[in-house]
Structure 1
Amino acid sequence: MSGFVFSEKPIRIDRGEGVYLYDTNGTEYLDFGASYACTPVGHCHPEVVDAATGQLEELFYVQASYPHAARTALYEQLARVAPVDIDNVWLCNSGTEANEAALKFARHATGRSKIVATTQAFHGRTMGSLAATWKDEYKEGFGPLADGVEFVEYGDSEAMAAAVDDETAAVIIEPLQGEGGINPVSKKYLQSVRVETATAGAALILDEIQTGLGRTGELWAADKYDVVPDILTTAKGLASGLPLGATLCRDWIAEDAGNHGSTFSGGPVVSAAAGATLEVIEREGLPAHAADVGAYLREETEARLGDEIREVRGHGLMIGIEVKRGSNRLLRDLALEHGILALPAGRTVLRLLPPLTVEREHADEVVDALEAVLT
């Protein structure tokens, strides 16, 4: 019996190492998708493997009401590296759960119900986060969803100011949209959202599920924009692909977050893997490395493919290349003809989210392959 949710690709992956994946025939693929940014330090990093397997030999699991060294250490790591004044940590299993918790915490702490989200936003597939997700294609057949969500144009300061009022519990926003097409906004805009929410007494939730952990050239995109939210959510590569998400909160949210829970909140194995992942990201300076290689990749793409594409956008190693034709065939040709794996972000955007450990020579391989398939 086969699965019925995912449309499977014609490549059967067998193993991974560093920035490469290998199929069952031994074919090597340069992984510039990282399964939606889930392997920031590369596949099977030895320190992450050692941390996870060492923990497996001692204790698979104990529920979060019992303190455990790996989980406690992760709480402390996340509080230390989070933007200033955000030192309360809730652990869960995924990005959508992290956003669900954020929405619940904001509503309980403010005593309000209205949520403001943006066009082209993607915040997850469970009912609350799905309600704050823009495209109808994700929602079709699943309604009715959670009430009280109002959408405004992404990047429009005036529309945001008009929407945020004394009934608003929170604004939830991606500092750089991923699924919506790799859409950046200005620092001025995001800072204006911070001012509007603070003035109205509403929470600002930064969804850093995809942008966090060094992806944009800073550990958090919040740091790049000089914005400190009330709640920051992260997941994807937090435990190098093991299922883990986190909701990081300021005190005023945490002190009145309400009754929330999860059976698998920060199990020992995923906590150990996450701790090792964060340690590697910090010690090896991967955010700065992502900024350098990402800038090089964007420059080379624009210089060599400027006539063949519409635009290159993004920050660090979160890059969108808007092409002049559909992206699906381009992705297939890159994979099957050139051994490069990438992702779509809409019908005409090629999304690059490689491990943060890729080098300039890997960027050159991608541009060479793009030049071949586009011309």
Structure 2
Amino acid sequence: MTVFSLMLVVFSLTTGEFVIAGILPDVAGDLTVSVPAAGLLVSAYALGMIVGGPVVTVATARLPRKTLVVGLVAVAVIGNLGSALAPNYSTLLLARFVAGLVVATFFAVAIATVVSIAEPGREASAVARVALGMNLGIIGGTPIGTVIGQHLGWRATFVSVALCATVALGLVLRFLPTMPVASSGSVLGELRVFTDRGVQLAIALTALGNVGVVTVFTYFTPLLTEVGGFATGVVPVLLLVYGAGAVLGNYLGGRLADKVPMSSLAGLLAALAGTLALFWVAADIQLLAVVLIFVLGALAFAIIPGMQTRVVGAAGAAPTLAVAVNASGFQLAAAFAGRIGGWVIDDGPGLRSIYPIAAVLTVTGLLLALHMLRRDREHVLESS
């Protein structure tokens, strides 16, 4: 039940983050703002994670882990309730920022914990098990939250997220055992980890490798309805298809990362870039688009275990802070995604062009992965 309680927290936080993709037009219409402006709600949440990752992790480094986890989940509940009650767009932006502040630190504590207790050589699979809650948030929470938003209003969606997180909080209080503090070293000692070139490259890979697919997912609903021609009522089903792909991709990505971490990561990024480019061509061929949605979900989540494990391995004695900052790197990609998509829609070549732009952005992550792979091989040759 300890693992389940943490998984349910991850499920709640993931649903709260990604469900905005399914209710974006509803939020925009109700608050009388444009869809690109509503897309900045994703950026606000991402900014909260970017700031909160290092700041909250350092500030709470001396807290016992159970106390820390309980406090983090409580803040997430407050942020989602604030989102539901927000009277205007500006307040909603602030509430999304608050909700995002604690997420990176929670993921970091959870991931660093499971990696520390995993069998040697099975670290990536352990990360994949934690990430299952994220997959379930995509496959179940996001479409369910979208349906709730479509029938009861987008505010009811955030109330539902807050209630789920509250249930998870109760389970954490009941089943999470007393654990040592998240960090036993000095803050300065932990911060020194970021002078390591390997850690810098690993965090940069997370940001560059994810920015393309996150840009597409941020504007998933208008892309599916306005470009793909799907009815609005079908969007939750398509999100379910995406989530099913995510579950499979998470499992396979963990297995591949255990065996050939950087080689598999480079291959997955190449496949992701190709899928995004193909979506540009075939977005309005609905049967093919459904297949591509599944593949996109699989590839988007197959790259995560390898990226997370790379950071933990490079960070050495300061994995919690490094993973938190790595989560911030992912959210930096999300923050840029909201802005890039808004520019493409308002001032750029138009909504459909998000697909090829996302493919090009993913290629930058691929190039970095290839550089890191070459660097690893050179290091092995020097050591032999």
With normalisation by structure 2, the TM-score equals 0.25
With normalisation by structure 1, the TM-score equals 0.26
Structure number with higher helix proportion: 2
Structure number with higher strand proportion: 1
Structure number with greater CO (CA < 8 Å, separation at least 6) is 2
